[in-house]
Structure 1
Amino acid sequence: MNSAPHVPAAAAPSHLATHLRLIGMAVLWGASWPWGRVLAQSLPPLAAAACRFLLATALLMIWLQRSGRLAALRGWSASRWGGMALAASFGVFGYATFFMMGLKQVPAGKAALVVTMNPAMTLLLAAWLFKERLNRVIGLGMVLAVVGAVTVITRGEPWHVLDGRVGAGEVLLLGCVVCWVGYTLIGRRVMAGVDALTTTGVTAAIGATMLLVTSLVVEGPAAWAAVPDAPMNVWVCLLALAAGSTAIAYAWYFQGVKALGAGAASGYITLVPVFGVVFSALWLGEVVDASLLVGGALAIGGTLLMNFGRR
């Protein structure tokens, strides 16, 4: 009996380009911290945040239009729009406000390490609210990440958390953590069935509107008069944040999720604080002291452990 002729198996598709894009995403998100620090030192924080997301929204809307997704928004229900508005109030308006106000007072490298608490707080609350299962590896990763972040916040003296000697800038950055965790958990309930690109574009547009209105009310029209006269380096950072850290980085991240899966793609986010510290030291001349190195190593190691434990 003759056997069927052997047909060579097709070569597995190379994901090299995908991995390179995900590294590029981590670079752009890491660079957002020194870029944001430059903006926070030069412009009113709410006006700067609004400018970033207004520019990003313009790019994202063009992207949605060209991909054919924009027309689908007409069929959305009022409850879906309400859910998007709630998500935008946390993930764009709240996060961007705390981001800019925190960076006005805290060095960019330190700020990038503080928000390594995001995954730990998200997983902890997801276990409580949605009954997600935790294990010992995830638990150890959470402890390391929080200890590392607290070490960075308190400059290596964590007992200062108890006596209230944590700076206002660090407290504002913890607001970033709260808002991002809220955005992530809200997304579990209100954004089901909507692709990531559409979610990003819509929440960016709603959040940009919130930031614009709040800036005009709180900071006044005078805050916007300073924007056209900002130095060239400020405009470069603003455009880089809008196009690079928002539109391009999100595009590369979503492509990575599609090609490799969410778990593999999200692992690259661990590199973000590394690039944030490196770029802040190189571009802004920020000092990397022992507490930043030790706390950063603990926080990043804890994040890696949590990713490993989830798999």
Structure 2
Amino acid sequence: MLIVAMAVWGLNVAAVKALTAFFDASTLAALRMVVAFLALSALVIWKRCGLPSLTLREAGAIVVCAVLMVFLNQLLFAEGLARSTATNGALIMALSPLVSALVAAAAFRETLTLARALGVILGFVGVAAVVLSHPGSGLSDAGAGDLMLVAAVVSFAAGGAIVQQLSGRMHPLTISWAIYLVGAVMLTLHASVDAPNLEVDALFPGWWPWAFILYSGVLATAASNLVWNGAIARIGVARTAVFLYWVPVFGVAFAALLLGERLTAWHLFGFVAVMGGTFLGTRPAKSTATSS
């Protein structure tokens, strides 16, 4: 399921890039998150998965998680890409597994085994090979945009750690619904302040843009993040985050399939490295308990 979600996210990169020609960053983020919230609401009603009674601490954790994983992550990612390059963005986002592993080690005292560390490094090498092999790619000087992208990675990883804590008390669907409820409200308020005189026609530029928004909101955001949060609950944030290495790999594959871009030996090397990194990075730590 995670591999399928990463494929959806890989295609979503092209969809969001196309949507930036029709909407500004804050409006686009708000529309995508509102659609995602509506889709999750339909699932909650269908599954009859209501909200349990929350303590003040748990409600506060939901709000903090929404700020980190939805509000800040969406704005920092969009604004960071606007100021940086696609190459820098892909490589910085590929740091997510390493950041998540460090967050998990600090928050949950998870052991960063040698195999997992090698998997993280091997996956990053594979992503670097895929991204830097693209014609005309290169690294720009570090700047405000790069720092925003790093902050987006850290905020998403920190939010994932909170999801892992909440998963023992709440269903992943309920967690996702609550997070996107709060996040969608925040982004909508931000968009209304950022573009107070937005005309109605600007929200409906055509059929194709809204088809992309529905894909991005329903499949890439609601469904894929539900899979993501469910995986965090089952195998932890550190092991789940290793699968993020597949996003640029699928992005390149879709570019070759849909846009006719040429594949090289570097792409094959990157694919093999990402496969190896995923295998090593998702191996559970050996239990010290003896079998009876």
Equivalent in the alignment of 1:45: 25
Letter in 1 for 2:224: A
Is 1:139 the counterpart of 2:114? The answer is: no
Q: Is the 8 A contact 1:34 1:108 kept in 2?
A: no
Equivalent in the alignment of 1:98: 76
Counterpart among 265, 280, 286 of residue 305 in structure 1: 280
Equivalent in the alignment of 2:222: 247
Is 1:36 the counterpart of 2:12? The answer is: no
Letter in 2 for 1:32: N
Equivalent in the alignment of 2:153: 177
Instruction: Name structure 1 gaps, 5 residues minimum.
Output: 1-20
Q: Is the 8 A contact 2:11 2:250 kept in 1?
A: yes
SS class of match (2:283): helix
Letter in 1 for 2:17: R
Equivalent in the alignment of 1:279: 254
Question: Aligned Cα RMSD in Å?
Answer: 3.8
Moved more, 181-190 or 165-174: 165-174
Equivalent in the alignment of 2:178: 202
Task: Return the alpha-carbon distance in structure 1 between the equivalents of residues 260 and 107 of structure 2.
Answer: 42
TM superposition shift of 1:180: 1.2
Task: Return the alpha-carbon distance in structure 2 between the equivalents of residues 223 and 155 of structure 1.
Answer: 40
Q: Label 1:187 to 1:37 Cα distance change in 2 as closer, same or farther (>3 A).
A: same
Equivalent in the alignment of 1:216: 192
Q: Label 1:78 to 1:256 Cα distance change in 2 as closer, same or farther (>3 A).
A: closer
Task: Return the alpha-carbon distance in structure 2 between the equivalents of residues 289 and 222 of structure 1.
Answer: 48
Task: Return the alpha-carbon distance in structure 2 between the equivalents of residues 196 and 202 of structure 1.
Answer: 10
TM-score scaled by structure 1? 0.73
TM superposition shift of 1:107: 6.9
TM superposition shift of 1:272: 3.0
Task: Return the alpha-carbon distance in structure 1 between the equivalents of residues 265 and 80 of structure 2.
Answer: 22
Task: Return the alpha-carbon distance in structure 2 between the equivalents of residues 290 and 168 of structure 1.
Answer: 34
SS class of match (2:197): helix
Q: Label 1:291 to 1:271 Cα distance change in 2 as closer, same or farther (>3 A).
A: closer
Equivalent in the alignment of 2:45: 65
Q: Label 1:155 to 1:126 Cα distance change in 2 as closer, same or farther (>3 A).
A: same
Counterpart among 51, 55, 62 of residue 77 in structure 1: 55
Equivalent in the alignment of 2:290: none
TM-score scaled by structure 2? 0.77
Q: Is the 8 A contact 1:44 1:223 kept in 2?
A: no
- Same amino acid, percent of matched pairs: 26
Moved more, 273-282 or 222-231: 222-231
Letter in 2 for 1:244: L
Larger Rg: 1
Instruction: Name structure 2 gaps, 5 residues minimum.
Output: 287-292
Task: Return the alpha-carbon distance in structure 2 between the equivalents of residues 294 and 222 of structure 1.
Answer: 50
Q: Label 1:295 to 1:140 Cα distance change in 2 as closer, same or farther (>3 A).
A: same
